[in-house]
Amino acid sequence: MARDSRKEEKIGNKYSFRRQFQDLWFYAEGQRNKLVVYFILTIIISLIAMAPPYFYGRIIDDLTNNTFGNIFLFLGLIALSHIIYETVYNFVIYKTKIIGGIVRNQSRLKTFNHLFGLDYSFYETHPLGQIFSRIQTGSSSVRLFIKLLFKTTIVKLSGMIFSVAILFTLNWVVALAALSVLMLFLIHGIYTMSKLVELENKVYRVSENVYSTVYDFFSHIKIIKLLNIKDKLLKTLSSSYEDIINKQKITRRYERGRSAVSKLISQLSSVAILTYLAINVMDSLMTIGMAVMIYGFYSKFSSYASTILGDYTTLIGQRTGMYRMSLIYENVPKITEPKSPKRPENWQKIKFNNLFFNYPSKKVDVLKGINITINKGEKVAIVGLSGCGKSTLAKLFMRLYQPKQGSICIGDVDIKDIHSNDLYELIKIVPQDNELMNSSIYDNMQLATNKKVSKDDIVNALKNSASWEFVNKLPEKLNTVVGPDGVKISGGEKQRLCIARALLSKPKIIVLDEATSNLDVVTEKKVHKDLHNLSKNITLIAITHRISSVYLFDRIIVMHDGKVVGEGTHRQLLKSNKYYKKLQEASKKDKTKKLK
């Protein structure tokens, strides 16, 4: 999404109908056969719709010649054709509306599935509000595309083909005139298409940006209220919505002018055909009934040809919506699953081997030759000030990013050779920005694993994370709803619940990435002590800039400026590592400024 707007518009113009139908076919999995059946039915009723003009011409000739034998038969056939057409047509519309809703939802699910598979870096560079706006608009465009196809477009296209074919059998001059009019419509449509696509694309892009802004505002509602900047933000939104309206006005004005020219072509051509038919009748070259029949078929053709341009105008908006959703699929994961995955068995060590890494948006290395070995069952703390590369190390460990150089191995297996499902089953990370669903504590705990967990398991996990005491005091206890993103409980309580959730899945490795930053010192020590007393088979890695309770860990690794600058126990480091000693002194003074 973060791309040059002119490039987007150029690509938008190249989003062909073939590509649009391919995307529709992709989204319509499970509904494709039904769509084909309803397509065939629509073609059949379009042919049936050709009956009335023919029989009207026959009736007029019979009336003119005073032969009344077949008039009621013809009237009956006209009535029957209308009954069949309306019955089947409305049945198809009803069914395809249902299919449209199903395919819309499937397009969302398929796109969500694709998003879930993208690298973590994608979400750090693309606004979520804009992504969701594209999915919402694009999926709705898929539904409207199906609706338009079966409600009007297929009927009109097939009707045009049948009409001109019949005209060639009745009067080749009128048939050629019909094709000439069609050429005028096509020239007019093609000439104005790219401009209309460009205008529609601008409207969609501005709308997505506004949606993204609104999403961002309400994601930070607490700050907005505390800073009392509601009026300022509303003013910004008002200006943005005004920009949308102005762009929509330009688009609709161009669209109306386009439609007016189309109608003028249709009306003037009809007058010309009527003139030609009238002259032929006056010169006794054809009967009145034949003239009515020919004009009836031409009128159908002209009506279809002119209104299908209106359909095409509507289709451009839907194409743009589907195109912009399709841009999401242009993002592909760089971190892929191994073709021959391995599982670490009977491993004894975790090794970070000569790791170098820089974020895509930065050229400077965040990690500079990191070498760390952690024994199975060891409880290790990695400390350092913010920005030293601690959390980056955790992201690489979870394969959210790939190192520029070096490797991370669990036993003898490089984590890039481990399937993500196996890796995430082996490792559970508790990040600083802990997230809870707007549900009960019990339901949030159930999210820890795909397997059903018992209440006793949940209580034990809560006890091991120093959470049970406060949960047990809540009026609803485990049934307490925590609110959106856990707003009904404190930040420290939320962190402890997330630690409990990680423990529930019984991982072999737990990574706490600043996961106790919102806890007071006393509670933090209790959490670390409880975690330290866990089974010797569980390896614990705690990443923190606070060193108030790291003395509880078996070993402490000190990082500074992307490098390991110290390693040992708390006492050993205080004696031998000047930087760690400065961190300790800064912690006592509650300072976290950068140390030289």
CATH number, domain 382-588, options 3.40.50.300, 3.40.50.2000, 3.10.450.50, 3.40.50.10470: 3.40.50.300
Give CA–CA dist 33/37, Å, rounded: 6
Distances (CA, A) of 137 to 11, 12, 96, 569: 18, 15, 19, 56
Q: Tell me the mean pLDDT in the region 62-89.
A: 91
Q: Tell me the mean pLDDT in the region 552-572.
A: 87
- pLDDT tens track for 285-341: 889 999 999 989 988 888 888 777 667 767 777 888 888 898 899 888 888 888 888
Distances (CA, A) of 221 to 95, 218, 227, 487: 43, 5, 10, 12
Predicted confidence at residue 222, as pLDDT, reads: 62
pLDDT at 130 over 90: no
pLDDT at 89 over 90: yes
Give CA–CA dist 157/256, Å, rounded: 22
The residue type at 138? G
Helix (H, G, I), strand (E, B) or coil at 490: coil
Contacts of 22-26 spanning 24+ positions with Cβ under 8 A: 23/142, 23/322, 23/326, 24/103, 24/142, 24/145, 24/146, 24/322, 26/110
Give rounded-to-5 percent helix, strand, coil for the chain: 65, 10, 25
pLDDT at 5 over 50: no
The bridge status of strand 367-375 relative to strand 349-357 is antiparallel
Predicted confidence band at 592 (pLDDT cuts at 50, 70, 90)? very low
Across the strands, what pairs with 382?
A: 543, 557
Q: Tell me the mean pLDDT in the region 136-164.
A: 90
Predicted confidence band at 27 (pLDDT cuts at 50, 70, 90)? very high
Give CA–CA dist 258/98, Å, rounded: 32
- Among the residue ranges 246-250, 402-406, 446-450, 502-506, the one predicted with the least confidence is 446-450
Q: Tell me the mean pLDDT in the region 190-215.
A: 74
Parts of the chain belonging to CATH 3.40.50.300: 382-588
Predicted confidence band at 530 (pLDDT cuts at 50, 70, 90)? low
Specify whether the CB–CB gap between 96 and 35 falls below 8 A.
yes
Specify whether the CB–CB gap between 414 and 407 falls below 8 A.
yes
Which residues fall within 8 angstroms of residue 457, CB to CB, at 6 or more apart? 504
Distances (CA, A) of 124 to 120, 128, 286, 529: 7, 9, 74, 34
Q: Tell me the mean pLDDT in the region 32-54.
A: 94
| Ramachandran angles phi, psi of 540, nearest 5° | -115, 125
Predicted confidence at residue 221, as pLDDT, reads: 67
Q: Tell me the mean pLDDT in the region 83-112.
A: 94
Superfamily (CATH H level) for 5-330? ABC transporter type 1, transmembrane domain (1.20.1560.10)
Which residues fall within 8 angstroms of residue 118, CB to CB, at 6 or more apart? 331, 332, 333
pLDDT at 46 over 50: yes
Predicted confidence at residue 98, as pLDDT, reads: 94
**Which comes out higher in pLDDT, residue 83 or 489?**
83
Predicted confidence band at 551 (pLDDT cuts at 50, 70, 90)? confident
- pLDDT tens track for 140-152: 999 999 999 998 8
pLDDT at 487 over 80: no
Rg (CA), the chain: 35
Give CA–CA dist 317/144, Å, rounded: 10
Q: Tell me the mean pLDDT in the region 459-464.
A: 84
Predicted confidence at residue 82, as pLDDT, reads: 93
Predicted confidence band at 1 (pLDDT cuts at 50, 70, 90)? very low
The residue type at 217? F
pLDDT at 595 over 70: no
- pLDDT tens track for 252-290: 887 777 777 777 877 888 888 888 889 988 988 889 999
Q: Tell me the mean pLDDT in the region 51-65.
A: 90
Across the strands, what pairs with 409?
A: 351, 414
Parts of the chain belonging to CATH 1.20.1560.10: 5-330
Report DSSP letters for 338-378, one per residue: -SS-----S--EEEEEEEEE--TT--S-SEEEEEEEEETT-
